[in-house]
Amino acid sequence: MNQKLSEDTRNILGLQLPTDPRWVNLAEIQLEEILTDHAYCEQKAALTCISLIQKNFDKELLVDELSPIVTEEWGHFRMVIAELKKRNLKLGKPRKDIYVNKLITFQKKDGSPEQRFLDNMLIMALIEARSCERFKRLSEGMDDKYMRNFYRKFMESEAGHYTLFITLAEHYIDKKIVRKRWAAWLQYEKELMKSEEVRGDRIH
């Protein structure tokens, strides 16, 4: 992991509120549920990147950068499915992602095309940042050494994804505008996390 990712990870990627430490213990005793939820998170990430490419086909850098992310996220989905099978666990039903649904309510839906694009980039950056922070917790706190290493790989990958969405936003929009809106997203997510129930059956 390069120095940039290490710095990001140490700082919890700008997030204002760390995950409740009880979450790791709850997740470890609900491994089938957490792996199921993780699999669907990776699937949704791949599908969202495909959607972003379709909606922003005229943004060449975005298309070039997100195309391999689709492949990577789908590869992650397959890795988690393989882990479930190896442990004789079953992929359960997808659940409603309350965390993401609450984030969506903060998006500008009646703003300019630029504002809507910016929020599309920043909500993805925030989801990836929180996923990375959660994977970091698992990679450091799980009793199972194999699972700690398993989640360290995901942590490193998600940190890179977080920075990519920020970089893409700043490529197309003035950096000051991006940073101001990013600060607002981080504050909103902090309050959201305060109200979230600590559950071990979900990544977010």
Q: Residues 98-114: pLDDT tens digits?
A: 999 999 999 988 889 99
Query: What torsion, rounded to 10 degrees, do the Cα atoms 44, 40, 77, 157 define?
Result: 70
> CA distances (Å), 69 to each of 23, 44, 47, 53, 88, in order?
28, 12, 10, 11, 29
Segment 160-171 mean pLDDT = 92
Give the pLDDT confidence score for residue 43 in this predicted structure: 97
Determine the average pLDDT of the residues in 15-23. Answer: 91
What's the pLDDT at 156? Answer: 85
At residue 13, the pLDDT reads: 61
**Rounded CA separation 49/183 (Å):** 23
Identify the pLDDT of residue 31. Answer: 96
pLDDT in tens, 53-75: 999 999 999 999 999 999 999 99
Q: Which domains does the chain have, with CATH numbers?
A: 25-195 (1.20.1260.10)
Mean pLDDT of 171-187: 95
The pLDDT score that the predictor gives to residue 158 is 81
Distance CA 194, CA 187 (A): 11
CB 70 within 8 A of CB 50: yes
Q: What is the pLDDT of residue 103?
A: 97
Amino acid 108: pLDDT = 87
Helix (H, G, I), strand (E, B) or coil at 82: helix
Predicted pLDDT of residue 2: 39
Tens-digit pLDDT profile for residues 109-163: 888 999 999 999 999 999 999 999 999 999 999 999 999 999 999 998 888 888 8
The pLDDT-based confidence of 191 (bands split at 50, 70, 90) is: very high
Q: What is the residue type of 25? A: N
